[in-house]
Amino acid sequence: MDSMHGMALVRRAVTEHRRLVLGLAAAVALNGLMYALVVYPLSERVANVTERERAAEQALAQATAEHRETSGTLTGKSQAAAELTSFYRTVLPQDLAGARRLTYLRLARLARESNLDYQRATYAPMADDGSTLTRLQIQLVLSGTYADMRTFIYQLESASEFVVIDNVRLAEGADDAGSLVVTLDLSTYYQKQTP
């Protein structure tokens, strides 16, 4: 009974205030229409703009990192080129005569200081078409004790001249005094001379 009485009151209120109820109903409908046609699309657009802004920030951060890496690579490359030029000018001999001078006298002196007998040395320049350097291949034959050989090799490796030990071959000497014969294959490099 109460629910019927409540319904009757609602009908009576709607009938008496019909204009106001219709105005409120029209306002609610207009509000729903405005939300569906204006507010919701704008909120979606704002969400899309925020998402695009976030994607743009990520792309910018990635581009900045790539730029830093590229700049570092360029800086490293130019520094390496400068160091290589310095190496060519200050460490490597400038020509074949300089390479022979550097190694011939130095090797004979090191052998004498290490108490080794300097038996013979051969020199052969080896040009490589794909390189700007020429390799001076040296074969050096020395005889003496094992301890003296180690001293010679240590002195050669710790010297300021750029000489690379490619191969070491040991053999027993002809005498019974325990001497050894060592054959060293060595290399040094110099800049190719342009005609």
Cβ(108)–Cβ(155) under 8 Å?
no
Mean pLDDT of all residues in 18-36? 85
- Does residue 123 share a domain with residue 36? no
Counted domains in the chain: 2
144 vs 16, higher pLDDT? 144
Sheet with 133-144: list strands edge to edge. Answer: 117-127, 133-144, 180-191, 164-172
Which residues are 172's β-sheet partners? 180
Exposure string of 117-148, with b = 16+ CB inside 10 Å and e = fewer, is: ebeebebeeeeeeeeeebbbebbbbbbbbeeb
Task: Kindly report, residue by residue over 52-72, the tens digit of the pLDDT.
Answer: 788 878 888 888 888 787 777
**Element counts in the chain: helices (H) and strands (E):** 5, 4
CATH number at residue 164: 3.30.70.60
- Does residue 107 share a domain with residue 81? no
Tokens 């052969």 belong to 124
Task: Kindly report, residue by residue over 96-153, the tens digit of the pLDDT.
Answer: 777 787 778 888 888 899 999 888 888 888 887 777 788 889 899 999 888 899 999 9
Distances from the Cα of 193 to the Cα of 1, 37, 97, 127, 131, angstroms? 118, 82, 12, 11, 12
pLDDT of amino acid 141: 92
Supply the pTM of this predicted model: 0.54
In the predicted structure, residue 23 carries a pLDDT above the cut 80 = yes
Cβ(186)–Cβ(165) under 8 Å?
yes
- Does residue 116 share a domain with residue 64? no
- Does residue 137 share a domain with residue 77? no
- Does residue 143 share a domain with residue 61? no
Residue after which a domain boundary falls, among 42, 64, 90:
90
> What integer best gives the mean pLDDT of the chain?
81
pLDDT of amino acid 131: 76
> With helix as H, strand as E and coil as C, how does 42-54 read?
HHHHHHHHHHHHH
- Does residue 174 share a domain with residue 110? yes
- Does residue 180 share a domain with residue 138? yes
- Does residue 73 share a domain with residue 43? yes
Range of the domain at 64: 1-90
